[in-house]
Amino acid sequence: MTSRIAATKAKVASKVGDKSQLGELSRLANGLRTAQEAEHDLQQQLHHEYDRKEQAEHKYQRTAVRLREIRASISTGSSTALLAQLAEEVNPKP
């Protein structure tokens, strides 16, 4: 790895006409690399947040469906049957 870095530095130095600008070019390259790494990290965070949002939406949809089911069973069934159904959901039998 060290030899690749040295070879790259030598290649850049041979292409830069004004040697006083070599330090400035190196500084700019390091800044670009840092900015690209930060951008990559932000992209990963964005994808993670999208995944979390999608999971929350799925949970919301499941809860909304369950709420509709409970409301429907309240309006059509007896309260003891609803309590038994909810108890079974909370404590399922193996």
Higher pLDDT, 65 or 3: 65
Residue 5: pLDDT band by 50, 70, 90 thresholds? confident
Residue 88 has pLDDT above 90, yes or no: no
Distance CA 72, CA 76 (A): 6
Q: What residue spans define the domains of the chain?
A: 21-90
| pLDDT for residue 55 | 98
Nearest residue to 67 (alpha-carbon basis) of 81, 78, 82:
82
